[in-house]
Structure 1
Amino acid sequence: MHSLQQHSPSPLHLTLLKTSKTHQETTQLHAFAVKTNLIQHTSLSSRLVSLYADPEINNLRYARSIFDQIQEPSLVLHNLIIKCYVFNQQSHEAIALFRDLLGKSLLPDNFTLPCVIKGCARLNAVEEGKQIHGLVLKLGFGLDKFVSSSFVSLYAKCGEMGLARKAFDVMDENDLVSWNSLIDGYAKCGEVGIAMELFDEMPERDLFSWTCLVDGFSKCGKVEFAREIFDRMPNKNLVSWNAMINGYMKSGDIESARVLFNEMEVRNLITWNAMIAGFESNGRFKDAFELFENMLDGDVVPNDATLVSILSTISGLASLSKGRWVHSYMVKNGFLVHGVLGTLLIQMYSRCGSIESALIVFRSIPKKKVGHWTAIIVGLGMHGMAELALNLFHEMCNSRVKPHAITFIGVLNACSHAGLVDDGRKYFDKMINDYGIEPTVEHYGCLVDILCRTGHLEEAKSIIESMPMRPNTVILMSLLSGARNHRNKDIGEYAAHRLINVAPDTSGCYVVLSNMYAAAGEWEKVSQVREMMKKRGFKKDPGCSSIEHRGVVHEFIVGDKSHPQTNDIYSKLDEMRNKLKSAGHVPDTTHVLLCIEDEEEKEVELENHSERLAIAFGLTNIEPGRPIRIMKNLRVCNDCHSVTKLLSSIYNREIIVRDNSRFHHFKNGTCSCKDFW
């Protein structure tokens, strides 16, 4: 007793607590209170909770730790912690503490209830909200303006517009918040007429009222209504500009979004992120990266959301130099790669052709999650490194990280690219029997692809016919491509017939069917298929290969002579031809899919394939010892594959080629695919 009195809070201590405003001052007083045992006094500990829970300091961890030490915390303290949880986007914890409060026979008040209702709204927890609504009516808070307004907001955000309108109509006095919540809810549900009627009835409006309509109409796809409201707004702020830009982005009207963006005098990070993400999601990768560079030039600091978009953009560009630059920026500026950013870095390096860098990132992550494992397994499979991919899958399982459905897509793809048909069947069964994962159409697609690549066409056809869902175009294209590669015209025609019935606008179907007939020398059928393509307005995509050098991407199409270095490139092609002939290469002219009689003309046609032009450019410009990385839009033909193997040995260069399904690593006369692709 004497000790406690000796250490009672002095007037000075209480004064310091009252005047304390910064985190540093509060933690110093906290440390002093713990050291002198003053923390045991409820008045002092309660004041510390209040300080830590204040939005200016916002140290939820310390606030809760002190709160838990108080024997009988008051309702005021409960309210402070609940509010702090909601403020910190931890609404689950707020609702759990509210439940504990009721268990202590404490009755919530009109400060507790709006906070916990807001937490329900953030979680879309409408059923829990209804239970709280019942409690509110029992406690007599049904007519409280702030509580009622919170219910209008909850129900509107959860799309329960009938309940939102009832809560709104029983209010004695509708405040601006409740009007805005109701309008926002109707607008987002697509109820344009009702939203506009309410807007016109409002006794007063603020900037948020106008923005609710713009944002709501944009999100439900009514962009023309959103723009009409936007143009009528007497004043606009960043939120309203961003809402309109997001609306255009969501509708795919990129150019209108760009015009608005250019008109803005002030932009914030949200604006930049919306534009970058919009360009990325619409495949406008060059525009997205250019915006990112402009953003940095304007001294706007990116956040994780920016980098998520930009790493996906670089994967789309397949620009390794840009990827390494962004990775370096992330390291210098302290961005952690343990979460989604780590997964995207692994994906980016894999898709840009540097699986070694992807492995380095993967191994640097201390606590690997299922996304990290999945990304590296998918990447290794894409690069033909099936053995390492499967070893990592087993390591993942042994680490007690449970694979999910996408992980098995990566595993099955690895088996497909390596021709591991027995392993493919085994992992497909393992996914179902050991992990209880129901196969999706994507899993069936992987299994069919494995069977088609290895020539098990009848089995693949049987699986397609017995699948519990309708086969998609990818599956039927796998069967058609397998039939072409293994020269099974009957199954090829079966697959093409089904494809044309299911998806007649699949241009690739006609191209592969035409190629199959061309390889068989059935030129009359080739003409028939091409006539069908002409009638439907389809054109065969020309082979296109790109290669990056000093930050610039150089593109080539078959027979291209538009490059500034054309003379040097074709001179190198002549040199390559002579060296290949000396090495004993005999061109495989069966893959010339044109009706050409002369063998020399066929050989010239092969020599002008886009990847050979890109290789010639790389041998001319890229320093000896550095890999030549080429991205191609179509499958590598047999002759180009054989030629590239020889060239890797003749010139002692590693040549990495990504075609439309995988990576080939050519080195010392061999390929990572082991001649299976």
Structure 2
Amino acid sequence: MLKLTPFHSLQQYLPHNLHLSLFQTCSAPQEVEQLHAFSLKTAIFNHPFVSSRLLALYSDPKINDLGYARSIFDRIQRRSLIHWNTIIKCYVENQFSHDGIVLFHELVHEYLPDNFTLPCVIKGCARLGVVQEGKQIHGLALKIGFGSDVFVQGSLVNMYSKCGEIDCARKVFDGMIDKDVVLWNSLIDGYARCGEIDIALQLFEEMPERDAFSWTVLVDGLSKCGKVESARKLFDQMPCRNLVSWNAMINGYMKSGDFDSALELFYQMPIWDLVTWNLMIAGYELNGQFMDAVKMFFMMLKLGSRPSHATLVSVLSAVSGLAVLGKGRWIHSYMEKNGFELDGILGTSLIEMYAKCGCIESALTVFRAIQKKKVGHWTAIIVGLGIHGMANHALALFLEMCKTGLKPNAIIFIGVLNACNHAGLVDDGRQYFDMMMNEYKIEPTLEHYGCLVDILCRAGHLEEAKNTIENMPISPNKVIWMSLLGGSRNHGKIDIGEYAAQRVIEVAPETIGCYILLSNMYAASGMWEKVSHVREMMYKRGFRKDPGCSSVEHKGTLHEFIVGDISHPQTKEIYAKMSEMKEKLKCVGHVPDTTQVLLCIEGEKEKEAELENHSERLAIAFGLINVKPGIPIRIMKNLRVCNDCHSVTKLLSKIYSREIIVRDNCRFHHFKNGSCSCMDYW
């Protein structure tokens, strides 16, 4: 390291040109900071060489300290074009392109930009996707005589290609004489991005030379256009593949849903980088293959790769989908041990994971521990409290957030309205909907109207819900009509239900849930001829109802049960426990609600047997056998809990003195001491 003698010694013994030589030879960040301080103390900072050299050193990629670079720039009394170019480039390279463009606007009032300034600021426009500003700079370049400069033209082709202005990119490209492989790649990439894959292929054939990126652009473009087989043929023809090429092909398979081919190619790779792992994990998570995503994450750790924030966000989302709390806790512990900060999206993901895994207490603990809370953190905890039936707590937190000065956005109002929905707070829901529009000037989206309609439907205000839908300023989607159909089924309003079902079929005839709800509504009213008609319609269209499925995590393994399941290794013990449960329920006076049987079964005993075999009862029996007393039994179900199972679970929580937490497709139910957190409203 450079060791500086005290200021007086230097002033006394070193000639001035030796002072300047120190600035030429230093390169380490600490040396630069020492010389920076030295220049200020000795008043030599304003020497043109010194200030320029310090600006260049701080802007150099090896040091890359934008804060110090800007402070140097601001102190320079007579700035040259070189100074402007250096600081603008520093901003663009540090992903602060907007600030770089603002500086460029100031620059043109003092100097005419040159062929160093223009490519840099055009690159900033490409990164921001601001094509109109890019066109203005293009016009300026033509006006001041740099329109035919090869570097300016190259940056324009790249900018227009990335911004989707492919005709403009082609016009600049065709007017160029010297075209290197990078330029060809930019244009091919632009055509591929716009879906013009045939033109991209034609250009590829015309290229005088190709590199790995040329091939990769086409592989990626073909994959995105759904031509995965063509992409694979091109991939196999590549003379030399790099990690980007492999990742492009794997990503193509993942997006097309061909996970087997993606996995096969993954294992053929010579080496795996973080991008590859993230592709695989995110691909599985986005396509609902949560278990595969979690397995891939732990395989990644086993092989010694360190996950990024993106990796952890994907795997936490997968854990949320599976509701495997044990895995989620392990990942949280890993994050703490490895110093991952929770101030950003990771904190939001962790809160969501705990909430969706049924542990709202841990979600609250994470939320409270975050020092610099952003709107995303508040949104995650408010949504979590809402689906757990803790609406008052959720709404109190919303008001607390508003007091901190954070302005609620459209997403957080969805969380607030959902909290009102799960607690049956109809008046509050209406007030918050009005507050969003009138106080915060947020235009309601389909999601907001969907929440309001669902609030009204669950509470039985079906006519008001119907009127709200018909008077919406935007066209309702299938989700909104399904809310009206679901409310009609729950409250026995067949006429409104039929109306809603007809609207769903008009908007999205492939919606299986519509036919199931309609069939169940008819079955609950004993209209078996109409039930047969709906089921025949489903059969002809190839629709099948998903069976009820409930799962319990135990010692890191997910145990799944369907109606009448006899496939589990502990089947004998489970059915013995269910017989015991049946006897205990009789002793406390439980009478099965056979109106919940939506099949054409005549005998009461047969109907009771049908109810007894519901998947959540098998899961409860498994939990009573295996989960230690004092630990909640956590059950995840894919369908709505029926009224009879809800009553039974309340009684079992008291009979066995166990807390049972059930997540159905709507919300969480916390059963304890014979009562449920939903207060029988779901």
Cα distance between partner residues in 2 of 1:295 and 1:34: 50
| Aligned residue runs from structure 1 range 320-359, under 5 A | 320-359=325-364
| Aligned residue runs from structure 1 range 78-227, under 5 A | 78-103=84-109, 105-227=110-232
Farther off after superposition, 520-529 or 568-577: 520-529
Residue 374 (structure 1) aligned with residue 379 (structure 2): yes
**Counterpart secondary structure, 2:662:** strand
Cα distance between partner residues in 2 of 1:217 and 1:543: 40
Per the TM alignment, residue 624 of structure 1 is displaced from its structure 2 partner at its CA by 0.8
Farther off after superposition, 93-102 or 517-526: 517-526
**Corresponding residue for residue 49 of structure 2:** 43
Among candidates 4, 19, 35, match of residue 25 of structure 2: 19
Among candidates 62, 67, 76, match of residue 73 of structure 2: 67
**Corresponding residue for residue 364 of structure 1:** 369
**Counterpart secondary structure, 1:417:** helix
Cα distance between partner residues in 2 of 1:596 and 1:183: 64
| Aligned residue runs from structure 1 range 444-459, under 5 A | 444-459=449-464
Q: 1:36-67 deviations in whole A, cap 9, x for unaligned? A: 44434342232122111111111111111122
**Corresponding residue for residue 614 of structure 1:** 619
Per the TM alignment, residue 584 of structure 1 is displaced from its structure 2 partner at its CA by 2.2
Per the TM alignment, residue 12 of structure 1 is displaced from its structure 2 partner at its CA by 4.3
Residue 263 (structure 1) aligned with residue 268 (structure 2): yes
Cα gap change, 1:196/1:604 in structure 2, threshold over 3 Å: closer, same or farther? closer
**Counterpart secondary structure, 1:656:** strand
Residue 53 (structure 1) aligned with residue 44 (structure 2): no
**Corresponding residue for residue 678 of structure 2:** 673
Cα gap change, 1:29/1:399 in structure 2, threshold over 3 Å: closer, same or farther? same
| Aligned residue runs from structure 1 range 260-339, under 5 A | 260-339=265-344
**Corresponding residue for residue 251 of structure 2:** 246
- 8 Å Cα contact 2:250/2:266 also seen in 1: yes
Cα gap change, 1:187/1:502 in structure 2, threshold over 3 Å: closer, same or farther? closer
Letter in 2 for 1:58: N
- 8 Å Cα contact 1:190/1:222 also seen in 2: no
Letter in 2 for 1:561: I
Cα distance between partner residues in 2 of 1:237 and 1:547: 43
Farther off after superposition, 168-177 or 125-134: 168-177
Among candidates 482, 492, 496, match of residue 477 of structure 1: 482
Cα distance between partner residues in 2 of 1:93 and 1:556: 57
**Corresponding residue for residue 232 of structure 1:** 237
- 8 Å Cα contact 1:189/1:220 also seen in 2: no
Letter in 1 for 2:106: D
Cα distance between partner residues in 1 of 2:222 and 2:89: 31
Among candidates 568, 571, 584, match of residue 566 of structure 1: 571
- 8 Å Cα contact 2:59/2:65 also seen in 1: yes
Per the TM alignment, residue 291 of structure 1 is displaced from its structure 2 partner at its CA by 1.3
Normalising by structure 2, we get a TM-score of: 0.94
Farther off after superposition, 52-61 or 599-608: 599-608
Cα distance between partner residues in 2 of 1:466 and 1:671: 36
Cα distance between partner residues in 2 of 1:504 and 1:601: 34
**Counterpart secondary structure, 2:350:** helix
**Counterpart secondary structure, 1:641:** helix
Cα distance between partner residues in 2 of 1:206 and 1:485: 63
Farther off after superposition, 13-22 or 542-551: 13-22
Letter in 2 for 1:443: H
Per the TM alignment, residue 417 of structure 1 is displaced from its structure 2 partner at its CA by 0.9
Cα gap change, 1:220/1:597 in structure 2, threshold over 3 Å: closer, same or farther? closer
**Corresponding residue for residue 640 of structure 1:** 645
Residue 430 (structure 1) aligned with residue 435 (structure 2): yes
Normalising by structure 1, we get a TM-score of: 0.95
**Counterpart secondary structure, 2:232:** helix
Letter in 1 for 2:81: L
Cα distance between partner residues in 1 of 2:650 and 2:525: 26
Cα gap change, 1:116/1:419 in structure 2, threshold over 3 Å: closer, same or farther? same
Cα distance between partner residues in 1 of 2:41 and 2:653: 71
Cα distance between partner residues in 1 of 2:463 and 2:598: 26
Cα gap change, 1:224/1:673 in structure 2, threshold over 3 Å: closer, same or farther? same
**Corresponding residue for residue 653 of structure 1:** 658
How many residue pairs align between the two structures? 675
Q: 1:268-289 deviations in whole A, cap 9, x for unaligned? A: 1111111111111111111111
Query: Matched residues, percent identical?
Result: 70
| Aligned residue runs from structure 1 range 497-536, under 5 A | 497-536=502-541
Cα distance between partner residues in 2 of 1:421 and 1:264: 56
Cα distance between partner residues in 2 of 1:96 and 1:183: 31
Cα distance between partner residues in 2 of 1:500 and 1:151: 49
**Corresponding residue for residue 416 of structure 1:** 421
Cα gap change, 1:285/1:571 in structure 2, threshold over 3 Å: closer, same or farther? same
Letter in 2 for 1:470: S
Cα gap change, 1:222/1:528 in structure 2, threshold over 3 Å: closer, same or farther? closer
Cα gap change, 1:529/1:198 in structure 2, threshold over 3 Å: closer, same or farther? closer
Report the RMSD for the aligned CA atoms in angstroms. Answer: 2.2
**Counterpart secondary structure, 1:553:** strand
Cα distance between partner residues in 1 of 2:660 and 2:30: 58
Cα distance between partner residues in 1 of 2:149 and 2:573: 82
- 8 Å Cα contact 1:14/1:44 also seen in 2: yes
Q: 1:109-162 deviations in whole A, cap 9, x for unaligned? A: 222221111111111122222222222223222222212211121112222222
Letter in 2 for 1:292: F
**Corresponding residue for residue 463 of structure 1:** 468
**Counterpart secondary structure, 1:39:** coil
Cα distance between partner residues in 2 of 1:165 and 1:501: 43
Farther off after superposition, 35-44 or 164-173: 35-44
Farther off after superposition, 588-597 or 146-155: 588-597
Letter in 2 for 1:546: S
Cα distance between partner residues in 2 of 1:196 and 1:501: 41
**Corresponding residue for residue 3 of structure 2:** none
Cα gap change, 1:138/1:503 in structure 2, threshold over 3 Å: closer, same or farther? closer
Letter in 2 for 1:626: I
